[in-house]
A and B are shown apart, each in its own frame.
Chain A
Amino acid sequence: MELLYFGDSGWGDELAIATLMTIAVSITAMVIGFVFAAIFTPLKLSKRKYFNLISNSYTTVIRGVPELLVIYLFFFGGSGAIMYVASIFGYNDYIEINAFITGSFSIGIISGAYSTEVFRGAIQSIDKGQFEAAKVLGVSKFTQFYKIILPQMLRLAIPNLSNVWQITLKDTSLISVTGLVEIMRQSYIAAGSTRDPLFFYSCAAVLYLILTYLSMKLINKLEVKYSRGY
């Protein structure tokens, strides 16, 4: 148990910081995912075949290819791509991207594909009459979305978004291959230096369980809040 002491003698504080890192990466990835979903959901619902094709290929490819492969693509290809873009603007020095950015971006793209599907389903299951009523009343497109569609959509989307959150949280463990010190990487380091992998990986499992448990509790509260009146 002294392995978990805080301070120099134990790994308690390192694991605590790593847990915060996992939470930070998950939230960043989730937010990036929402940005992607905000771009691709309208494309998916658009009447133009061309837009549908773009959005469908994004969600199909990302959901059909292992997360680890996507992470490797960004880990090995990310800095190369940025350097290529920079070289067009005449900047030829080596650019290294932060592991946090690579990690949260690649997980964000993955969670974005799942979020897109969730939002598409939620918008499609809103009664058509709502759109028509808004149109008849002369509500602008912007107000229609923010005041009428979004509140109803959120109620339908939150249970599924909670699944996306769980997937994202667990996917962040894969970023450890890029060297970002989150729970998994920290347990790997600790296991290597103390030669006690069983203990540290079990700690990691317990930490993940605590995170998933707490987030379930929080999301349940949100669900209650957004389903008032139903």
Chain B
Amino acid sequence: MFNSFPKLLSAAVITLKLLFASLFFGLFIGLLFAILRLNKNILINKFAYGYSYVFRGTPLLVQIFIIYFGLAQIEYLRTSFLWVILKEPYWCAIIAFTLNTGAYTSEILRSAFQTIKPGIIEAGKSLGISNKIIFYKIQIPIAIRQSLPAYGNEIILMMKGTSLASTVTLMDLTGVAKYIISTTFKPIEVFIVAGGIYLFMTFIIHNVIKYLEKKYSFQQ
């Protein structure tokens, strides 16, 4: 049981790398699509809605498989420069996770933008602040604060989602755990160790988000 601990711990590093890379890119995509969702042009709006609907309505496993196994089938992609990225399971997993978390993040941010009181924007306008600055300096910070609790949940869901990277041959925490289980036939012990590492990470994320919520709360 304790022999497997160092192996699992080093695999946890890959899990964390996958998590942070996809959260980083996913935040940008989420913000972009949240802004598109608020656009008044119905075509752009529908496009952003379709994106989030498709990625939230299908399992993450399907998305990874389409990107890892599916895209490799297109001849054109295999000769293009993109192939350098798409032949690596690591980057395919990150692309899939990014698109998936981007869809959820866009929904979280959109609802946060919509719950901002119009009075705040009007106050900014009456002070003669330009629309651009109102958006960057007023709306975005408030929206981020509003969406922190929901985004914390999304981070934890994404951390659990990274376990699917093991299905495309990546040896992340779940992948290594499965390998050890299938060689030693000690499922319960390995589950306790690997599950403990996951729970520890969940615990840390949960507390960091709680701290941030407190720090950026409106009543200071």
Chain A interface residues (CB < 8 Å from chain B) = 60-61, 64-69, 72-73, 76-77, 80, 170-171, 173-174, 176-177, 184, 187-188, 191, 195-198, 201-202, 204-205, 208-209, 212-213
Q: Is the CB of A69 within 8 A of B57?
A: no
21 contacts between A and B (CB under 8 A): A64-B156, A65-B199, A66-B159, A68-B167, A69-B195, A72-B174, A72-B177, A72-B187, A76-B181, A174-B59, A174-B61, A174-B164, A184-B65, A187-B65, A195-B73, A197-B65, A198-B71, A201-B62, A205-B58, A208-B59, A212-B58
Chain B interface residues (CB < 8 Å from chain A) = 53-54, 57-63, 65-66, 69-74, 156, 159-164, 166-167, 174, 177-178, 181-182, 185, 187-188, 191, 194-195, 198-199, 202-203
Q: Report chain B residues within 8 Å CB of A196.
A: 73
Known A173-B62, A174-B61, A209-B54; judge A201-B70 contact (CB<8 A).
yes
Q: Report chain B residues within 8 Å CB of A73.
A: 187-188, 191
Q: Is the CB of A198 within 8 A of B70?
A: yes
Q: Is the CB of A184 within 8 A of B62?
A: yes
C-alpha spacing A196/B65, complex, angstroms: 12
Interface of A is mostly: helix
Closest to A173 in B: B59
Q: Is the CB of A76 within 8 A of B62?
A: no
B191 interface neighbour in A77, A187, A208, Cβ under 8 Å = A77
Q: Is the CB of B195 within 8 A of A65?
A: yes
Closest to B182 in A: A76
Q: Report chain B residues within 8 Å CB of A197.
A: 65-66, 69-70, 72-73
19 extra interchain contacts, Cβ-Cβ under 8 A, other than A177-B167, A209-B58, A212-B57?
A: A61-B195, A64-B198, A64-B203, A65-B198, A66-B163, A66-B174, A67-B160, A69-B174, A73-B187, A80-B187, A170-B60, A173-B62, A174-B164, A184-B61, A184-B62, A197-B65, A204-B65, A208-B57, A208-B62
C-alpha spacing A130/B66, complex, angstroms: 51
C-alpha spacing A77/B181, complex, angstroms: 9
Known A64-B198, A68-B166, A201-B65; judge A76-B70 contact (CB<8 A).
no
